[in-house]
Amino acid sequence: MATFVLVHGAMHGGWCWAPVRRRLTAAGHEVFTPSLTGQGERRDALTPEIGLSTHVRDLTELLWFEDLTEVHLVLHSYAGVLAGPLAEAIGERLASLTFLAAFLVEPGECLLDVEPPEVAEGYRRTAQERGEGWFLPPAPAFLEQWGIPDDRRSHVGERLTAFPLRCQTEAAHYDPAPLAALPATYIRHTRPPLESLDRSYGRAVRAGWDIREIACGHDVILAEPERTAAMLESIAGG
C-alpha cells in the first residue's frame, strides 16, 4: 500500500480531496490532505505575509512530524510551484511527484511568470481593486473557469478562500537537480484544457515525464474523483 500526500490548489483546502481520499483509503492506502496556511479551515490565518515559502514549510513540517517516507506527492494547480523547493528540502522522503493540472516553475520564477501576460495582469489588477492590494477574492467566475460540475457549484463556491497575491509573486528558488532525480508524472485535463497551463505542460513534455490525460475541466479532483484516484493508484504502483 502507498502513502499519498495530496496538496490542493489556490482558494481550496484539504476538503476538496475528500472524494479522492475516501477512494484511496478504502483501498488501504495512507492518505494525508493538508490545508495550506490561510486556506480551507485555516482561513483565519490568512495574512499578507503568506507566500510560497510559507506553504513549502507547511509541507516539509508535515512530512517531518509524521515521519513520512516513500511519499507519493500530488500537487494540484498552484501547488505545482512548490515542487522544486520541496524536492530540494525533502526529496529523500519522496517516491514520486505528480503534477495534477499543475503549474511548473523554473528556479527564480514565480507563478505569474508562467501565466499568460494578460492573465497575470488581471490577477494583479483584481488584487488592487478588490483585494486590498494583497489577495485575490473568490468569485463565481472561477467556478466556470475551473469546470466545477453544476451540481457541486454551490458546495464548492461557499468554501473557496481568498488567496494571497504573494503566493503568485514570490519566486521559487531551488536547485533543479533533486526535482530532476524524482519520478514525475504530469496529468493534463483536456475537456477543456486551460491555456494558463500550456507552458507548464510543455515543460513536462520536454523533460520526458510520464504524461497522462483526463477528460474534464481544471478542478479534476471534484469533476472526476474516481478516475483521479484510479490514476494515482496506477502511478504509485509503477
Which residue has 469533476 as its cell numbers? Answer: 223
Q: How far apart are CA 1 and CA 73, in angstroms?
A: 15
Give 14's pLDDT tier (boundaries 50, 70, 90).
very high
Paired residues of 210 in beta bridges: 185
For 22-38, how does the pLDDT look when each residue is reduced to its tens digit (9 = 90+)? 999 999 999 999 999 99
Amino acid making up residue 89: A
Provide the pLDDT for residue 197: 98
Provide the pLDDT for residue 136: 98
Give, to the nearest 10 degrees, the angle between helix 225-236 and helix 18-26: 50
Average the pLDDT over 162-173 and give the result: 98
**How much of the chain, in percent, has pLDDT values that exceed 70?**
100
Using a CB cutoff of 8 Å and minimum separation of 24, what contacts does 103-107 make? 103/77, 103/78, 103/196, 103/197, 103/200, 104/80, 104/186, 104/199, 104/200, 104/203, 104/204, 105/80, 105/81, 105/171, 105/172, 105/200, 106/176, 106/203, 107/172, 107/173, 107/174, 107/175, 107/176
The pTM score is 0.97
Alpha carbon distances (Å) from 141 to 147, 212, 223: 10, 27, 17
Provide the pLDDT for residue 119: 96
Strands (E), the chain: 3-7, 30-32, 71-76, 94-100, 135-136, 163-164, 184-189, 210-214
For 141-154, how does the pLDDT look when each residue is reduced to its tens digit (9 = 90+)? 999 999 888 888 99
User: Is the peptide bond prior to 34 cis by the omega test (within 30 degrees of 0)?
Assistant: no
Alpha carbon distances (Å) from 175 to 86, 155, 194, 207: 10, 40, 28, 16
Q: How far apart are CA 136 and CA 130, in angstroms?
A: 7
Three-state secondary structure call for residue 197: helix
Average the pLDDT over 117-132 and give the result: 97
Cell of 220: 479534476
For 182-227, how does the pLDDT look when each residue is reduced to its tens digit (9 = 90+)? 999 999 999 999 999 999 999 999 999 999 999 999 999 999 999 9
Average the pLDDT over 61-73 and give the result: 98
Q: To the nearest whole number, what is the mean pLDDT of the chain?
A: 97
- Per-residue pLDDT at 133 exceeds 90: yes
Which stretch of 46-50, 65-69, 153-157 has the lowest confidence by average pLDDT? 153-157
Provide the pLDDT for residue 149: 82
Q: How far apart are CA 222 and CA 228, in angstroms?
A: 9
For 79-97, how does the pLDDT look when each residue is reduced to its tens digit (9 = 90+)? 999 999 999 999 999 999 9
